[in-house]
Amino acid sequence: MGRQAGGVQADLLVAGGGPVGLGTAVLAAQAGMSVIVLEPRQPPVDKACGEGLMPPGVAALRALGVEPDGVPFRGIRYLAPGACATAYFRHGTGMGVRRTALSAGLSARAEELGVQRVQAAAGLPVQADGWVEAGGVRARWLAAADGLGSPTRRALGLDRPVAGPPRYGLRRHYRVAPWSDVVEVYWSGEAEAYITPVAADVVGVALLGPRGNGFDRMLGGFPQLLERLDGAPPLTPVRGPGRCAGWPPAGCTAGCCWSATPAGTSTRSPGRASRSG
Taking CB under 6 A as the binding criterion, the range among 32-40, 76-84, 212-220, 231-239 that sits at the site for ligand FAD is 32-40
- Determine, following the binding rule CB under 6 A, whether residue 43 of this chain makes contact with ligand FAD: no
16 binds ligand FAD (CB under 6 A): yes
Closest CA to 218 of 167, 179, 210: 210
Distance (Å, whole) CA 218 – CA 224: 13
Task: Mark the segment that binds ligand FAD (CB under 6 A) among 2-10, 75-83, 156-164, 258-266.
Answer: 258-266
Distance between CA atoms of residues 54 and 92, nearest Å: 9
Residue type, 157: G
∠ CA 191-254-175 to the nearest 5 degrees? 55
Which of the stretches 47-55, 105-113, 214-222, 265-273 binds ligand FAD when contact is defined by CB under 6 A?
47-55
Integer CA distances (angstroms), 260 to 78, 136, 140, 161, 177, in order: 19, 29, 27, 20, 26
> Which residue from 10, 25, 36, 39 is in contact with ligand FAD, where contact means CB under 6 A?
39
Q: What minimum distance in Å lies between the beta carbon of 51 and ligand FAD?
A: 5
Sorted by sequence, the CB contacts under 8 Å of residue 154 that are 6+ apart come out as none
Q: Among residues 33, 41, 63, 176, which is the contact residue for ligand FAD, using CB under 6 A?
A: 41
Binding letters toward ligand FAD, positions 217-236, x by CB under 6 A:
--------------------
Binds ligand FAD (CB under 6 A): choice among 76, 122, 137, 193: 122
Q: Closer CB to ligand FAD, residue 52 or residue 55? A: 52
CA distances from 199 to 17, 71, 105, 267 (A): 24, 6, 16, 35
Polymer length of the chain: 277
Least distance in angstroms from the C-beta of 254 to ligand FAD? 12
Specify the residue, 48 or 110, whose C-beta has the smaller distance to ligand FAD: 48
Q: Are 44 and 50 in contact (CB under 8 A)?
A: no
Which residue of 8, 12, 13, 15 would you call a contact of ligand FAD, by CB under 6 A? 15
Burial of 211 (0-12, 13-18, 19+ CB in 10 A): exposed
Environment class of residue 137 by beta-carbon count within 10 Å: exposed (0-12), middle (13-18) or buried (19+)?
Answer: buried
Judged by CB under 6 A, which of 28, 36, 45, 118 binds ligand FAD? Answer: 45
Can residue 208 be called a binding residue for ligand FAD (CB under 6 A)?
yes
Contact flag: residue 144 with ligand FAD (CB under 6 A)? no
158 binds ligand FAD (CB under 6 A): no
Cα–Cα dist 53/9, whole Å: 34
Which residues in this chain contact ligand FAD in the complex, by CB under 6 A? 15-21, 38-41, 45, 47-53, 121-122, 145-147, 151-152, 169, 171, 194, 206, 208, 242, 244, 257-258, 260-261, 277
